[in-house]
Amino acid sequence: MKHITLVVLLIVSGSSIAQNVEAIFNDAENLFANGNYEEAAKLYSQVIDVEPDNMNAYLRRGFCSSVLKDYDGAISDYSKVIEKHSDHPFAYLSRGSAYNKKEDFKTALIDFDKVLNIDPNNQEAYNNRGWAKNGLGLYKEACLDWKTSKKLGNEEAKIILKNNNCK
């Protein structure tokens, strides 16, 4: 009888933990949606502590870290997602953006190239790769990426091309 009670208690407790994690994640999402990235990141960390395989929590915390200019933290979170899902274009794109912000343009290029291998029509990857190339002094190549982004329909690329004297 004690064994059955213990099993029931563990099942109920496991269900309760899952509900609590879901509630914490939902609270984090609300904070995230309202732009309270610091508090949202703390809640995503709580979710990760209980569910270390929750890739959505890593993605969201990575975004929060990036907004808060903790680029190393963002890179770490996006890398965790990439470890589990090596074909996740958003994680590569976001990590590449964090590398760009750190002015590690060579590493950023690797991530943007990976995105374009997965999704050859990713406008944002072309834009961001253009910024990485621009940071490396590869101005003509940057313009080519921005032109490709524009051809794919990215309105922002039109402004970038004009502001960077691309012909």
The answer to whether the 1-85 and 87-167 domains have the same CATH topology is: yes
Q: What percent of the chain has pLDDT over 70?
A: 89
Q: What is the pLDDT of residue 21?
A: 84
Fold of the CATH domain 87-167: 1.25.40
Question: Using CA atoms, how far apart are residues 112 and 128, in angstroms rounded to an integer?
Answer: 7
Q: What is the pLDDT of residues 29-39, one digit of tens each?
A: 999 999 999 99
**Cα dihedral across residues 31, 41, 37, 76: positive or negative:** negative
Architecture of domain 1-85 in this structure: Alpha Horseshoe (1.25)
Give the start-to-end residue ranges of the domains of the chain: 1-85, 87-167
**Cα dihedral across residues 91, 92, 96, 99: positive or negative:** positive
Q: What is the pLDDT of residues 55-106, one digit of tens each?
A: 999 999 999 999 999 999 999 999 999 999 999 999 999 999 999 999 999 9
Per-residue pLDDT at 5 exceeds 50:
no
